[in-house]
Amino acid sequence: MKKTTFIVILSFLFAGALSATDTLVNVSTEGEGANCPNGGARIDVGDDDNGNGDLDESEIESTQYVCNGSNGATGVSISDAGTMCGDAGGIKITVGTTSSYVCNGADGQNALSRTSAEGEDLEAVCPNGGIKIEVGLDSSGEGDLDDSEVDQTQTKYVCNGGKGADGHDALTKVSDEPKGDNCTKSTGIKIEVGVDDNGDGVLDDDEIDDTQYVCNGKDGIKGNQGQKGDQGEPGANGADGKDGAQGEKGDQGEKGDQGEQGKTGATGEAGKNGATSLVSVVDEPAGENCAAGGKKIELGLDANGNGALDEDEIDAESIYYVCNGRDAEEAGLTSSSTGCSLSAVDEDDNVMLAVLAIVSMICAFVAVRFARS
């Protein structure tokens, strides 16, 4: 009905557009009656002769009715099937005076799947290995997919691909970043990453794929000094350091005033016995030490206690010479260390003088050694 009304209205509007005078359409409700047994709409069309914008009764040229259709048959109703579908249950569908029943079917079987990574068929389909996927209905209801339950038409294979070429290692290079365009407020670090395309183990400039900067933040405001903590236990003493090099000897200071004499100290332990003094007398040939020859007298301490005056035991400052004289003027006793001499009246007294000189030297040597001790 609505589609028909729309077509009629368009027809009148199109016809009115062809007239020079404005064509008006007036649509009103038409009650049930001779024109429309079920009621509908009345459409009046005419020209607005007086130009007042309303379609007056005298201006109506044609009238059309768009009537409502008669009531249709009873619609579809759905209700419970009751006992018509047994225990399974269902629904009752009524169209007009005709009823039909749609009953529920028996419970379906669960669909199961299983996977495996071995088998002759898998090796044939997947040379590089893979996974076989089998599916089917659990007709036994035990929860496992048995071989007899597998739907062979639904079996699928997921195969591994062949071995690809070796890839290149990813490298990272971290370096210090100064304050500047990348880190405007402070210094930081520069992180460069990329793939080692040439395989030399070094991230070259042309291998860098991405660069990131991690900048240090500004130094914060210095906080208040905290309270002094409890003193910790003393640590273990460290090992003594090595003695430093001995410095140069300083100038000797002025002699201070002599202090009061201290108390006599306790007598010390008796010292060890000193080494025995030895004298060696050998002939001295004529030469630089004795022009006419003579005797060489050597003194020293028997350090090794063997009773003999060895070469390394001779005191270099205690070597003396007793030279033979040619006459009274030339006879004499000389010493390499003291420079003293003795004169003799004649040659017969030379031996006596030599003996006396030796005894004197021995006494002097002993006295010197005692003083040193």
Tens of pLDDT, residue by residue, the chain (373 residues): 444 444 445 455 444 444 456 788 888 898 889 989 988 889 888 888 888 888 888 888 888 888 988 776 666 677 787 777 877 778 888 877 788 877 877 677 788 888 988 888 888 889 888 898 999 888 888 888 888 988 989 888 889 888 877 788 899 999 999 999 989 888 989 999 999 989 899 999 998 999 999 888 777 777 788 888 888 888 888 787 777 788 888 888 888 888 888 788 788 777 666 778 788 888 989 998 898 888 889 888 888 888 888 888 898 888 888 888 765 444 444 444 333 343 333 444 555 666 666 766 776 666 556 555 5
The answer to whether the beta carbons of residues 171 and 204 sit under 8 Å apart is no
Measure the N-to-C terminal CA separation of the chain; round to a whole number of Å: 156
Domain ranges across the chain: 2-67, 73-105, 111-159, 170-199, 277-372
How far is Cα 256 from Cα 258, in angstroms, rounded to an integer? 6
What predicted TM-score, i.e. pTM, was given to this entire model? 0.26
Q: Look at strands 98-103 and 111-116 and give their pairing.
A: unpaired
- Structural element, H or E, at residue 33: none
**Which one-letter DSSP state was computed for residue 303?**
T
> What tokens appear for 330 in the block?
């030339």
- Sheet order of strands, 314-323 included: 277-284, 294-301, 314-323, 332-335
Q: Residue 344 is encoded by which pair of tokens? A: 């003799």
Cβ atoms within 10 Å, residue 110: 11
Buried b or exposed e, range 30-62, using 16+ CB within 10 angstroms: beeeeebeeebbbbbbbbbeeeeeebeeebeee
